[in-house]
Amino acid sequence: MIQLIQPFPTPLDRLHQWREGDVVASVDGRPIEDMLDLYYYMPKGTKMDLGIRRADGTETSVALEPYALDQVMSCFAAMEFKTCACDCVFCFIDQNPERMRPSIYVKDEDYRLSFLYGNYITLTSLGRRGLARIVEQKMTPLYVSVHATDIDVRTRMLGIKKRMDVVAVLRELTAGGITVHSQIVLCPGWNDGEILDKSIRELSELHPGVETLAVVPVGLSAHRKGLTQLDPVTPEIADRTIDQVHAWQARLLEEHGTAFVHLSDEFYLLADRPFPPLAQYGEFAQVDNGIGVTALLGDLWRDDLDFAREEGDLPARPITILTGPLGKLAFDQRLAPVLRAADLPPVDVVRVDNTFYGASVTVAGLLTAQDVARTLADLPADPVRDVLLPPRMFNSDGVTLDDRRLADLQEATPHRLHVPDEEGLIDFWRGIR
């Protein structure tokens, strides 16, 4: 059911007399759980009959044109989402320090969030009713954290009591027309080696339903007191894993015409190995998982620079880029040559060490405002610089992990701060005057 949290705007409110606390219980006689049900079941182009349960317990119905629904969306309560009941040995949320903003500690496990926003889910809380709904309403694609197809290994890694055959569930979803993007968080000694081989083999057998598999290294912060001891992915392990996955890619390219399994950029940077050819990443379906980001940016920047050169409008001012240790490594090894070849103004890439989470956390998306502020304070005040910050350190509301905003950082530095989209960096740079 969908609860009304404020009256409709006039004239709809005058027409229907809905009040706070009323709920939409059905559409054309069919019970609904949430807005997804409402949008799925509402008739196309004709009035729909909404079953209303009043706050006083009485029931009624109103006819509403489908186009009017968008006008009243803000009047409905937000959907409540399910949280995760797993106790994963590698869960990064458990590795957060205390006294951060409450949303940092929320572990979601809801197929609706996976469908709407690409959140990864384990499927451990998915019952028969939810599975049937996914297939009926074609909630595709979904993003599934597999970690291991071996049932015993996965059970231990997820910290769950009930054994679950994730391959069987994926088989049922894909048979119902659902596309799945999967991931494995690689934890040395747990799901690497032969277990990784088994996972790649069994998931690839579900292709094209399971469209991709991302392998990312476990992230370990300095706040792991009382948690299961885990080993990091070292350069040696990264090198060995690259060889293992490349062998699978060669085989799967021949069998399916796609590499299917992809390693995150961190593996190649750790091992100082070249990235696969750009075409091997396909549609870059796992780019938000750090798969192919560096190669994609290099290609986009090269194209944008070619266009800027044709327009006679190359960037004209020097810039400073702040990023994490991994981003600094990617820039120095793979992206700087793209810019040097274009004969551009100087680009100073400054590494921001993560003292908040610890030195082993190297990605830019986990930088905090306090670490960025410390790095900004170390920059000479003169000359004033145009400093570019990583967009991934801010959430969709523009807030950092330690609950600060860009304006807070700007107040503490004489330098001009910018948060450009990484893919559009060249165009943004051209606009700096």
- Predicted pLDDT at 134: 98
**In angstroms, rounded to a whole number, what is the distance separating the alpha carbons of residues 285 and 228?**
31
Residue 262's pLDDT band (boundaries 50, 70, 90)?
very high
- What is the set of domains in the chain, with CATH numbers? 2-75 (2.30.42.10), 93-291 (3.80.30.10), 296-430 (no CATH)
pLDDT tens digits, one per residue of 348-381? 999 999 999 999 999 999 999 999 999 999 999 9
Closest CA to 48 of 18, 24, 20: 24
- Predicted pLDDT at 16: 58
What percent of the chain is predicted at pLDDT more than 70?
97
Residue 44's pLDDT band (boundaries 50, 70, 90)?
confident
- Predicted pLDDT at 1: 79
Neighbours of 339 (CB within 10 A): 22
Residue 119's pLDDT band (boundaries 50, 70, 90)?
very high
pLDDT tens digits, one per residue of 298-322? 999 999 999 999 999 999 999 999 9
Residue 10's pLDDT band (boundaries 50, 70, 90)?
low
Give the mean model confidence (pLDDT) for residues 92-97. 94
Query: Would you state the structure tokens that stand for residue 405, as one six-digit string?
Result: 């905003």
- Predicted pLDDT at 69: 76
Question: Is the Cβ–Cβ distance between 406 and 389 less than 8 Å?
Answer: yes
Query: Would you state the structure tokens that stand for residue 283, as one six-digit string?
Result: 């549609």
> Which contacts qualify for 329-335: CB closer than 8 Å, 24 or more apart?
329/269, 330/265, 330/269, 330/293, 330/294, 333/269, 333/272, 334/275, 334/294, 334/295, 334/298, 335/294, 335/297, 335/298, 335/301
Residue 70 has pLDDT above 90, yes or no: no
Residue 9 has pLDDT above 70, yes or no: no
Mean pLDDT, the chain, integer: 93
Total-model pTM: 0.92
